[in-house]
């Protein structure tokens, strides 16, 4: 048996922190005990915190690696390996890699073509060869304001390990971009569109949504059932939108944009996930509700790094300061995302679960990672 012993650690458990030791055997946690261990060769954590490995449900990071600049397409295999290594280095040991399905093949958006099926195949092949450091699942971001969603979804099957499927609607003038000035700032800044180009862009997408949106929502719900994936909503803004989400069987809400929507989610038993960058920056870059406000109201359950992988750990410690409760805050990046995704084998420090671990020391208020283990193997 392969055994590793961690001692003189501050173990972050579900409800408390405990000075003690943790034994890993064959990739799983064998025991969690108070007090130090005298086993020869034990890793002395020198009082550092020992956390469960972080669980990331929604990240654009892989897409950032395959397209590091507009119109620049990077090698998928190199991008996947760089993404995997980056996440391991910041304490993330389980990731649901977000990939857009649903493309716009007409018009000027050359960057909005199908790519998810080929990228997923490469990721799964690399995983099958044992080349990845951490656990990877697929997260399909189903864009209803598109021309090809239904046919792209048909390319995925049960063998693809799709863990999450989120229904996204980026039609101009609603949800995340109900403020068209914010959308204009984002799109024109990223793609260099003129005033006329932006007006054409808005009209084109609005027309697509009117023609295909309802059918695409139904296709996304059906695909989640066929694939065995957890179904999530995205950018709910009103209580009525949350009611529709609940009727679809959704139990996870990604980034609700208002207090009204977040409250309606909690009333409906839907877990609320907010972006770590929102919490760290003190507000949404799109002008939507601040994650800190939802945390104060008891309406924040899960944090996601979104577009900054290192933000996940930093935001959890920031939330610990806000709540005055470290175990509760750490749960938003470990236990509660595991529960939302239906993973029962990780997310807490308990015997029998995967030995996904992060050793952390706080330095000047900043969490510093001193070691990362995935299934008992050190990866960072």
pLDDT per residue over 20-48, tens digit each?
999 999 999 999 999 999 899 999 999 99
The domains of the chain are located at 53-346
Least confident of 210-219, 342-351, 368-377: 210-219
Fold of 53-346: TIM Barrel (3.20.20)
pLDDT per residue over 261-297, tens digit each?
999 999 999 999 999 999 999 988 777 899 999 999 9
Question: Is the pLDDT score of 196 beyond 80?
Answer: no
Of 178 and 326, the one with more pLDDT: 326
Closest CA to 36 of 13, 18, 62: 18
Coil, helix or strand at residue 364: coil
Q: 3-7, long-range: CB within 8 Å, 24+ apart, which pairs?
A: 3/30, 4/43, 4/355, 4/373, 4/376, 5/37, 5/39, 5/41, 5/42, 5/43, 6/42, 6/43, 6/45, 6/50, 6/357, 6/359, 7/36, 7/37, 7/39, 7/42, 7/43, 7/44, 7/45
Question: Is the pLDDT score of 351 beyond 80?
Answer: yes
Mean pLDDT of the 320-324 span = 97
Q: pLDDT value at position 247? A: 96
Mean pLDDT of the 235-257 span = 96
pLDDT per residue over 84-142, tens digit each?
999 999 999 999 999 999 988 766 555 578 899 999 999 999 999 999 999 999 999 99
Mean pLDDT of the chain: 92
Locate 91 and state its tokens: 């304490």
Q: pLDDT value at position 187? A: 63
Residue pair 354/114 in contact by the 8 Å Cβ criterion: no
């Amino acid at each position: 048996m392969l055994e590793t012993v961690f001692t003189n650690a501050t173990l972050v458990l579900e409800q408390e922190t405990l000075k003690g030791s943790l034994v890993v055997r064959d990739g799983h946690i064998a025991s969690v005990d108070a007090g130090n261990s005298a086993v020869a060769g034990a890793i002395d954590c020198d009082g550092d915190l020992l956390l469960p490995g972080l669980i990331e449900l929604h990240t654009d990071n892989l897409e950032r690696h395959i397209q590091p600049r507009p119109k620049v397409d990077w090698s998928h295999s190199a991008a996947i390996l760089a993404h995997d290594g980056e996440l391991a280095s910041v304490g993330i040991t389980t990731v649901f890699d977000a990939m857009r399905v649903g493309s716009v093949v007409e018009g000027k958006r050359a960057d909005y073509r199908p790519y998810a099926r080929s990228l997923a195949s490469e990721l799964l092949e690399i995983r099958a060869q044992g080349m990845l450091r951490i656990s990877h699942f697929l997260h399909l971001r189903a864009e209803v304001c598109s021309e090809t969603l239904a046919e792209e979804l048909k390319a995925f099957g049960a063998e693809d390990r799709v863990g999450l499927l989120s229904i996204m609607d980026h039609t101009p003038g609603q949800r995340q971009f109900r403020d068209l000035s914010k959308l204009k700032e984002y799109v024109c800044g990223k793609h260099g569109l003129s005033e006329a180009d932006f007006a054409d862009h808005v009209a084109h997408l609005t027309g697509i949504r009117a023609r295909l949106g309802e059918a695409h929502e139904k296709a996304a719900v059906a695909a989640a059932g066929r694939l065995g994936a957890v179904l999530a909503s995205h950018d709910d803004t009103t209580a009525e939108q949350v009611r529709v989400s609940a009727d679809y069987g959704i139990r996870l809400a990604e980034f609700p944009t208002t207090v009204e929507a977040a409250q309606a989610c909690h009333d409906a038993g839907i877990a609320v996930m907010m972006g770590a960058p929102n919490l760290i920056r003190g507000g949404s870059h799109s002008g939507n509700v601040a994650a800190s406000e939802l945390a104060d109201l008891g309406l924040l359950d899960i944090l996601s790094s979104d577009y900054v992988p290192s933000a996940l750990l930093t935001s959890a410690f920031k939330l610990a300061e806000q709540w005055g409760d470290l175990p509760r805050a750490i749960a938003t990046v470990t236990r509660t995302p595991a529960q939302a995704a239906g993973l029962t084998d990780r997310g807490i420090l308990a015997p029998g679960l995967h030995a996904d671990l992060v050793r952390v020391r706080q330095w000047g208020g900043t969490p510093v990672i001193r070691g990362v283990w995935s299934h008992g193997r050190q990866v960072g």
